């Protein structure tokens, strides 16, 4: 193994770490935007869902994708849309949300079985799964951060304003990762400054 191979492995590891950090920062920023513009987010999700349904129909018409699988995927996206009735408040234990989670997995494995039985380029498969299978569920996943931070005027069943200190599922996960990173940093400088302050007070 040459030195150049070792450098390539080190560069690959650094690139992976950079990509992971960038993805985490991007998700956190998107969660902040969803919390700030919940009404606009709801409209965007509706339009993207319609766009994905149209793409399914076009794939059936022009690329001869199987009709029943296309119909099932369209029905799945129709079920996802039911979560918009109480958006941005999504109850994680509601029948609508649980059904949506089950349909996401079913839709994924249905199309995974289809693509494994036929040859397609990897880029084509990745594009289909990214846009037609996971784009809308991922949008709802990011929107979970707005549950505890939106005003109750969107939902008449809520009688009090939620605490502004609450954060959603996604932001809790990202905050946990960032907190673990901060715990590694030593706090000797803080303790030293506090000792200096206490000594100064005693001398006075």
pLDDT band at 38 (very low <50, low <70, confident <90, very high): confident
Please report whether residue 154 resides in a domain.
yes
Judged against a pLDDT cut of 50, whether residue 66 lies above it is answered with: yes
Identify whether the C-beta of residue 137 lies closer than 8 Å to the C-beta of residue 108.
Answer: no
CA distance 33 to 146: 9
User: Interhelix angle for 3-36 vs 135-143, to 10°?
Assistant: 60
Please report whether residue 193 resides in a domain.
no
Please report whether residue 201 resides in a domain.
no
In this prediction, residue 182 carries a pLDDT of 56
Please report whether residue 9 resides in a domain.
no
Please report whether residue 62 resides in a domain.
yes
CA distance 97 to 83: 7
In this prediction, residue 5 carries a pLDDT of 74
Q: Pick the closest to residue 83 from 137, 47, 133, 34 (CA basis).
A: 137
Instruction: Judge if pTM exceeds 0.75.
Output: no
Q: What is the DSSP string of 24-81?
A: HHHHHHHHHHHHH-HHHHHHHHHHHHHHHHHHHHHHHHHS---HHHHHHHHHHHHHHH
Please report whether residue 7 resides in a domain.
no
Structural domain containing residue 119: 39-177
Please report whether residue 27 resides in a domain.
no
Please report whether residue 72 resides in a domain.
yes
- Total of domains in the chain: 1
**H runs (alpha helix) in the chain:** 3-36, 38-62, 67-81, 95-116, 122-128, 135-143, 169-184, 188-203
Compute the mean pLDDT over every residue in the chain, rounded to the nearest whole number: 77
**pLDDT tens per residue, range 75-101:** 999 999 998 888 777 788 888 889 999
């Amino acid at each position: 193994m040459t030195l150049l191979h070792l450098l390539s492995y080190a560069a690959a590891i650094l690139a992976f770490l950079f990509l992971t950090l960038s993805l985490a920062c991007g998700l956190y920023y998107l969660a902040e935007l969803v919390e700030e513009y919940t009404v606009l987010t709801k409209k965007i999700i509706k339009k993207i869902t319609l766009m994905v349904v149209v793409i399914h129909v076009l794939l059936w018409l022009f690329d001869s994708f199987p009709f029943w699988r296309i119909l099932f995927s369209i029905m799945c996206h129709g079920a996802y849309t039911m979560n918009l009735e109480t958006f941005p408040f999504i109850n994680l234990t509601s029948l609508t949300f649980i059904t949506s989670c089950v349909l996401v997995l079913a839709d994924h494995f249905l199309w995974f079985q289809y693509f494994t039985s036929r040859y397609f380029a990897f880029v084509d498969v990745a594009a289909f799964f990214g846009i037609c299978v996971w784009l809308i569920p991922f949008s709802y996943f990011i929107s979970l951060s707005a549950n505890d931070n939106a005003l109750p005027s969107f939902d008449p069943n809520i009688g009090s304003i939620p605490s502004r200190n609450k954060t959603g599922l996604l932001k809790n996960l990202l905050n946990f990762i960032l907190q673990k990173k901060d715990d590694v940093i030593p706090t000797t400088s803080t303790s030293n400054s506090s000792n200096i302050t206490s000594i100064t007070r005693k001398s006075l």
